[in-house]
A = this chain, B = another copy of it.
């Protein structure tokens, strides 16, 4: 081990992909967590630098050394890393995930590479072979993991930000058997950081300012995760496999945040007001003890600004009497509960710490 940490109880963390938005946010959250300590990061662009070079805000963990991706595993061993957060491209995360698993180092993958249970869906989505260890991964939508199910896990597949926004809203409704098959339309709206920190013309301020458009219909990278979880929930109610869902995502002149408006009908309930009540009840029951998910009485109360910089998700449901549907709106910060915040929440549970540790204050902004 290159470096020794005197505090006996500190858990040593590495971050792969610290130059991206997800990885950087994860490093920042870990940098002020009372029990985790970032000791190593990897990033081809940053190789050879120290973490504090990336941002003076990270100076408390300034000793963390950056290596290239190819040296991630050996550096992880040298630095005694106990938990690695994988926040770079899926294929690299798949490679690193397998090696870390072999080396007995805990990993939380934020890339999606280990999220799917179907090798076929994986191949269609990511275009590289199914990682062997993916079937050993826990799907880390924290509020829906079996109680105790994260403790001690070696590999956690963090859901994507879109998937987390949609699943936190729809999964309790599906589990309660309320969703009329085929009725769900999800219209998601998201800020530019969901597209990553990539030097692309289409992501320039000059292009996105005052702009708005549907960027993906019917083929979003995270749709398979959503279908996989909803399918499983519906199966419990005797539905045939193959959950049908319309999902369109839109890019907005916002840097951060995802807000999803979901439209659905409740099975066997023709009174729309009553349908909305059933949906609200299912949501409130599901999140009664949750520190991070709040269910509001109305879909119109869900304001993106109230979740930015936090690990919270807000959800509200309203009856639409004209169209006879229930409208469910959910919102979160894609770099908070959508990725890095949820990774810390999961890390807490993997290591037996309180779920909210290091996340109470969030990075709230108004």
Contacts and interface: CB of A to CB of B under 8 A. Distances in A.
Interface of A: 21, 24-25, 28, 32, 55-57, 182, 184-185, 187, 189, 191-193, 197, 199-201, 203-218, 223, 227, 244-248, 250, 252-257, 259, 261, 263, 294, 296, 299-306, 308-310, 318-325, 327, 329, 331, 360-366
A248 to B, nearest CB: 6
A184 B192 CA distance: 29
A21 B329 CA distance: 26
A292 B197 CA distance: 28
B204 A329 contact: no
A117 to B, nearest CB: 18
Given A192-B206, A365-B365, 10 more contacts: A25-B366, A199-B204, A209-B255, A212-B257, A214-B261, A214-B300, A215-B300, A244-B324, A253-B254, A263-B263
Nearest to A310: B364
A253 B205 contact: yes
A205 B259 CA distance: 18
Nearest to A360: B32
Contacts of A215: 300
Contacts of A303: 211-213
14 contacts: A56-B296, A192-B205, A210-B256, A210-B304, A210-B305, A211-B304, A213-B303, A215-B300, A218-B319, A218-B321, A246-B263, A247-B320, A256-B365, A363-B363
Nearest to A257: B212
Nearest to A365: B365
A247 B322 contact: yes
A178 to B, nearest CB: 17
A364 B323 CA distance: 36
A154 B299 CA distance: 42
Given A261-B187, A361-B364, A325 B208 contact: no
A217 B300 contact: yes
B185 A305 contact: no
Contacts of A200: 199
A304 B213 contact: yes
Nearest to A302: B213
A51 to B, nearest CB: 15
Nearest to A187: B187
Nearest to A316: B214
A305 B251 CA distance: 12
Contacts of A308: 210, 365-366
A62 to B, nearest CB: 13
A218 B320 CA distance: 5
A24 B250 CA distance: 26
B246 A214 contact: no
Nearest to A318: B217
Find the residue from A215, A245, A309, A364 having the highest chain B CB count within 10 A: A364
A214 B255 CA distance: 19
Contacts of A253: 205, 209, 252-254
A259 to B, nearest CB: 5
A364 B365 contact: yes
B360 A212 contact: no
Contact of A327 (B208, B214, B245): B214
Contacts of A296: 56
A216 B300 contact: yes
Count chain B CB atoms within 10 A of each CB in A206, A252, A255, A306 and give the residue with the most.
A206
